[in-house]
Each structure stands twice: as C-alpha cells, then as structure tokens.
Structure 1
Amino acid sequence: MKVVCSQSELNAALQLVSRAVATRPTHPVLANVLLTADAGTDRLSLTGFDLNLGIQTSLAASVETSGAITLPARLLGEIVSRLASDSPLTLTTEESGEQVQLNSLSGSYQMRGMPADDYPDLPMVESGLTLKLQASGLVQALKGTLFASSGDEAKQLLTGVHLSFTDTNLEAAATDGHRLAVLQVNDALQAAAEGTEGEGAAFAVTLPARSLREVERLVAGWRSEDPISLFCDRGQVVFLAADQMVTSRTLEGTYPNYRQLIPDGFSRTLTMDRRALVGALERIAVLADQHNNVVKFSSQPESGVVLISADAQDVGSGSESLAAELSGDAIQIAFNVRYMLDGLKAMAGDRVVLHCNAPTTPAVLRPVEDGDGFIYLVMPVQIRS
C-alpha cells in the first residue's frame, strides 16, 4: 500500500473513527483503526469498530498502490495531530504488510500494525428495512431526547433512545426512570418506511445513546440536503451519510409504554419566560448543588409570581421571584435542578408552561409555541416539611 493524503483530512477522519475504538479491547486488533486504500477510486477509508459501535469514513487521496492494514488508533492519532497541517503525508507499507512508514515534510515515523484480515467486518444490512431521514429532523429528535437516557448500564433498555416511525413521522423518547423526554418530528421521513406492512405501518427500534451521540455528531455537521439512509436488520442498524457510516447494535427488549406515564389532565399551570427561568435556576443551582440539588417552586396566584428557592443546610439559602401566568390553586413543588435545566435547554421558544397536579405526582414541562411536539415529564422530589 502506498498513499498520499492531506494531514488535516486524515487527522479529522482519525478523530471521528477513534470514537468507536474500544478503550478496553477484548482483542488487540480492536485497539486499532483499519485503513483501506483503493487505487480505483483514489480514496482512503478508515474504520473504527468495538463490536457494538462502528464508524467508517473516507477521504480523497492519491493512491499509488491499493492495500489495507490496521494501526494503533491512539498512537497514529497522536502522531498525525502533531504534524504540520500544510504537509502532505505519505503512508507506505512494506512487503510483509505489518510495518508502516509515515513521511511528512518534517520527518518520518515507523509503526507496527496488524493484518487487515484480523479486523472484524462491519455489519452490513443486506435486506430488512430501509428509511430515508431528513438530517434536520433526526438531529432535532436526538437533541431533544438523548440527555434524558440513563447512564446506568444495569437498566440496559433505558440507556438507549426509542425511535418509532409512523408514516413519515418520527417520535423519539428517552427516560432514566426519573424523567422522560418525548419529541415528535413531523415529516422527518422522505416517504413511509419501506419493508413495513400496509398503510400507516409503524416501525420502532431502541438504540444505545452512545451510538446515537455519534450519529448526532455526524449529522449535525451535514451540509447537504440529501437524506440520511437508515438500514435495519436482525439486531443491527446502519446510518449512512455520503462517505460516512455509523453502525450500531440495537437494544433488545420491550421499551416501557411511556405514554401511559403522562397524566391526561392538569389542575395547575405555571407559564414563564424560558430564558428568565433558566437564568434563575442557574443562579439558585449554585446553592442547590451544595446540598441535594433540590429547588422548590412556590406559586403565588394572588401576586402572579413563582418563587424559586433552595436551602442548603449549614451553607445558606436563596430565592428568586419570577413573573408568571398562573392558573389553579397555589402549589409548592420541588425538583432536581439539573433535570429542570436539562429539559429547558433542550427546548426552543420563548415561553414554557409547567403543568402539575400535586407535589408528589408527575409534572410536565412544555414549550408554549409547540405544546404537542415536545413533552418533558419530571418526577417531583418529596419535600419534608
């Protein structure tokens, strides 16, 4: 193999695929990235794969001789990132195929690799379901839900985001047991799902949050109007955008019926300016973080304000008052301040409404402008009086 490419492009590609390289590999080759040079297309392809998440990208290169090799991801990444960005890089493998010479304008480096044949194949979806997704709709769905997934590996299904497709609409949902984010994106698909049965047929899949964060990162930088292709078959999903690909296993099991958690109606509503509420919560969080992260909302219908307070025992206390449109009786209800801030920052719009019934029952936060599209349910914290 002999290939000449740009330092900046190779560096960007390495940073992307290294995110799928195993930190504690079960086999030495999984700590490597696979480099494949193709003289027919004049492209260099890079792959990282930890058996759960796979990322593949390619870049334009001048390929004298085709070939493939795997190289230590961390070592190669650190060397390439420190080379001058205006220097072309030449990668050459010896006859044995396991030693690589990397030449730049400033110097040369040798690295031992492992044969490409030892590298596991990325899952390819030959049949099954094919979807064409609008990039903007997919990013919107992921931004609005990923933060609410669980980080606890014991709750395996809850470490993912549940994506369901009906006709051309996408609904994403994530919960960690304490909060739930649901976002509906209309016309996120170019056409109804191919491979589902009948009119209005639905398809649903739960994918690990870690994989979807990579998909979001990939798609957020997507400048094209072309759709993202999603292929799903036998426990594997592949996202394809131009010359970049993310593969992921699915999370098996039945995702909780989250719709039944959302109360049918509410007796109290608190409508506030979203940015003012975020600002007040961030200031109060300085105290709340000292103790138990709890902030208390006290509605005062007679004066049209909501009092937001925190009491950090032995440290101090603080309160902020916020103008609000209130309906229903006065209420005192407490929340984890971090959960509230996460939800508010995931929303768009200037005004939000907090729906609640009682201090111990689920509350729902929604943007006023798009009340049906985004639902954020939060369990209150019980206050000991």
Structure 2
Amino acid sequence: MKLVCSQAELNASLQLVSRAVATRPTHPVLANVLLTADAGTGRLSLTGFDLSLGIQTSLPAAVETSGAITLPAKMFGEIVARLATDSPISLSCPEGEEQLELTNLSGSYRMRGMPADDYPDLPLAQSGTPIRFHAEALVKGLRATLFASSPDENKQLLTGVHLRLDGEGLECAATDGHRLAVQRLSHAVEAAASPEAEASTADGADFAVTVPARSLRELERILSGRGSQEPLSLFCERGQVVVLSADQVLTSRSLDGTYPNYRQLIPPSFQRRLVLDRRAFIAALERVAVLADQHNNVVKISADPAAGTATIRADAQDVGSGSESLAATIEGEAIEIAFNVRYLLDGLKAMGSDQVVLQCNAATTPAVLAPVGADEAFTYLVMPVQIRTS
C-alpha cells in the first residue's frame, strides 16, 4: 500500500471511525482501524468496528499501490492529529509486511499494525429495497428522543430508540420506564421513485426496529456534520441495521424483543392543563434544581387557577428550601404534583416552542408535556414522584 492524502481529511476520518473502536477489545485487532487503499477508485477507506457498532468512511487519495492494513486507532489518531496541517501525508506499507511508514513535513513515523485479514467483516446487509430517509427529519427525531432512552444495560430493549414506519410517516420513541419521548415525523421518508420502491414503502406499514442509543447518537452526529441534502438509505435484516450516507456507512445490531406498547401509556384526555412560557419554566426549574439536587431531585409544582400562577418548590432536608412562581394559563382544579426535575428539564430542552402545556389528571397519574403550536407532533410523558405526606 502506498498513497498520499490530506492531513485534515485523514484526521477528520480517523476521529469519526475511532468512535466505533472498542475501548475494551475482546481481541487485539478490535483496538485497530482498518485502512484500505484502492488505486482504481483513488480512495482510502477507514473502518472502525467493535462487533456491535461499525463506522466506515472514505477520502480521496493519490493511491500508487492498493493494499490494506490495520493500525492501533489511538496511537495512529494522535500522531495524525498532531502533524502539520499544511503538508500532505504519505503512507507506505510494503506488501506482506505489517509495518506502515508515515511521512509528513513534520517528520517520519513507523507503526506496527496487524494484517487486514484478521479484521472482522463489517456486516453490510444491503439486500432488498432500502427505506430512504431525509437526513434533517431523522436528526430531528433522534434529538427529540435519544435522551429518554435507558442507560441500564439490564433493560436491554429500553437502551435503544424505537423507529416505526407506517402510512402516516416515521415515529421515533424512547423510554427508560420513568419517562417517554415520542416524535412523529410526517415527511421523513422520501417519496417512492419507482413502483418497486412504492411497494416497499407500503410494506413499511409493518416496519419497526429498535436500535441501540449509542449507535443512533453516532448516526445523529454524522448526519448533523454533513453538508449534503441527499437522502440516506436504511437497510434492515437479520438483526442488523445499515445506514448509507454519502461516503459514510454506519452499521449496528438491532435490539431483540417486542418494544413496549408505549401508546397505551398516554392518557386519552386530561382534566388539568397548565400553559407556561417554556424559557421561563426552564429558568425557574434550573434555579430551584440547585436545592433539589442536594436531596432527591424532586420539585413540586402547584397550580392555582384563581391566581393564574404555577409555583415550583424544592425542599432539601437540613439544607434549605426554595420556590418560584410563574404566570400560567390554567384549566381545571388546583393540584400539587411532584417530578424529578432532571426529567422535566430534559423534555423542555428538547422542544423548540415558546410555550408548553403540562397536562395531567391527578398527582399520581402520568403527566404529558407538549409544545404549543410549533411542533405538536412531539409528546413527552413523565411519571410523577409520589409525595409522602407525614
């Protein structure tokens, strides 16, 4: 393998694929990145794969000799990042050898790698007709739901985001058992360009997959950083999800099992509604959270219809207490309901509207936060905290 490429492009590509390199590899080669140079296409491909998440990207290169090798991701990445940015990088590895020489205006380095044949194949299931998503819409759906997935590996299915496609569009949902975020996207899927694709999209009424949040965070990062408006292609089969986006590929296992029927958790109607200014609500919660964090993260919200105010209060035993009042449009009777303040803030920050509505029936039943006007396709359900009365 022998080639010359841009330091900036190689560095950016390494930063990307290194996110899929195992931090605690079960085999030494999994701590490496795979480099594959192709003289025919004039491109250098880089791959990171930890057997669960895989990321592959490519960059233009002047390839004199094709070849492949794997190199330690951390060391290779740190060397490339520190090289002179105004000088191209030359990579050379004689056929049959496992040592690569890197040359740049800054200097020359030799690194011992491992054979490319030792590297596991990236699962690239690409049979059938892909579902083509608009990247901007998918990013919106992921940003609105990823935060609500569970970090608890014992709740394996809840560590992912559920993607469901039906005749009305795409629905993204995530829950950790205490809160639920659902984003409905009516224009996420590109219109079918052929009868075959149209038939596939029609079949998509039954399409549903749960993908690990870690994989989708990387996908969201990739899509947010790209300049292209081209739709991306998603393939799903045999427990694998593959997303193709321009010169980049992300592959991930899917999570086995039947995702909870989250729709039945959302109450069909509400007896109480509080409409508040979203930014003022966030600011008040963040101030009161200083005290809530000292104890149990619990804040109490009291609605007073007669005064047209909502009072937010936190009591930290042996530390102190604090409260703030906000103007609110209130429908229904007075109520006091308690929440984990972090759950409320996460949901409010995922919304983009000026006003939000907090809807509930009782202090012990699920409450729903939703934006007013801007994006009524977003629903955020939070389970209240039981208030102990002494």
Fold-level similarity (TM above 0.5): yes
Distance change in 2, residues 1:200/1:6 (3 Å): closer
- The answer on 1:229 being equivalent to 2:203 is no
1:224 & 1:32 partners in 2: Cα distance? 29
8 Å Cα contact 2:173/2:180 also seen in 1: yes
Task: For residue 291 of structure 1, give the secondary structure of its aligned residue in structure 2.
Answer: coil
1:30 counterpart SS class: helix
- In 2: Cα distance, 1:236 partner to 1:168 partner: 25
1:300 lines up with 2:304 in the alignment: yes
Partner of 1:344: 348
Tell me which amino acid in the other structure corresponds to 1:49: F
Q: Secondary structure at the match of 1:127?
A: coil
Distance 2:382 2:129 in 1: 34
**1:201 CA drift (Å):** 2.8
Tell me the TM-score normalised to structure 1 length.
0.97
Count of residues in correspondence between the two structures: 385
Q: Which residue does 2:142 correspond to in 1?
A: 142
Change (3 A) 1:329 1:248: same
Question: CA–CA distance in 1 between the matches of 2:306 and 2:33?
Answer: 64
SS at match of 2:294: helix
Residue 361 in structure 1 maps to residue 361 in structure 2: no
1:261 alignment counterpart:
265
User: C-alpha displacement at 1:21, in angstroms?
Assistant: 0.3
Amino acid at match of 2:151: G
Equivalent position of 1:82 in the other structure: 82
Report 1:132-171 matches (<5 A).
Answer: 132-167=132-167, 169-171=169-171
- Could you tell me how far apart the structure 1 residues matched to 2:242 and 2:72 are? 25
Deviations 1:196-230 (A, max 9, x none): 48577331000000000011001112222210110
Unaligned runs of 5+ in 1: none
RMSD: 1.4
Secondary structure of the structure 2 residue equivalent to 1:201: helix
Identical counterparts, % of pairs: 70
- 1:35 matched residue in structure 2: 35
Q: Which residue does 1:124 correspond to in 2?
A: 124
Matched, 1:179 2:179: yes
What residue identity is the alignment partner of 1:222? Answer: R
CA 46–314 in structure 1, closer or farther in 2 if over 3 Å, else same: same
Partners of 1:221 and 1:197 in 2: CA distance:
27
C-alpha spacing 1:262/1:168, structure 2 compared with 1 (3 Å) = closer
- Rounded to whole Å, the distance in 2 between the matches of 1:268 and 1:45 is 57
Rate the CA distance shift 1:19–1:131 in 2: closer, same or farther, 3 A. Answer: same
Task: Pick one of 275, 279, 282 that aligns with 1:275.
Answer: 279
**Conserved 8 A contact 2:295-2:316:** yes
Q: Which residue identity lines up with residue 320 of structure 1 in the other structure?
A: E
Separation in structure 2 between the aligned mates of residue 378 and residue 169 of structure 1, nearest angstrom:
25
Q: Which residue of 2 aligns with 1:326?
A: 330
Aligned residue for 1:314? Answer: 318
Q: Give, in angstroms, the shift of residue 128 of structure 1.
A: 3.9
Compute the displacement of 1:82 (Å).
1.1
Q: Summarize deviations over 1:138-164 as a string: whole Å, max 9, x none.
A: 001000000000000000000000000
For the structure 1 residues 198 and 91, does the alpha-carbon distance in structure 2 shift closer, same or farther, using more than 3 Å as the test? closer
CA spacing shift, 1:194–1:119, aligned 2, 3 Å: farther
Give the drift of 1:195: 6.6
Q: Is residue 129–residue 233 contact of structure 1 (8 Å, CA) maintained in 2?
A: no
For residues 201 and 87 of structure 2, what CA distance do their matches in structure 1 show?
A: 54
- 2:269 aligns to what SS in structure 1? coil
Maintained 8 Å contact 2:47/2:55: yes
User: In 2, distance between residues paired with 1:10 and 1:197?
Assistant: 37
Alignment-mate amino acid for residue 324 of structure 1 = A
**Is the CA contact 1:167–1:191 (under 8 Å) kept in the aligned structure 2?**
no
1:239 deviates by 0.6
What's the TM-score once normalised by structure 2's chain length?
0.96
Is it true that 1:94 corresponds to 2:98 in the alignment?
A: no
For residues 30 and 168 of structure 2, the distance between their equivalents in structure 1, rounded to whole angstroms, comes to: 38
- Describe the superposition over 1:227-267 as per-residue Cα deviations: whole angstroms up to 9, x where unpaired: 01101111111111110010001101000000000011111
Q: How far 1:370 moved relative to its partner?
A: 4.5
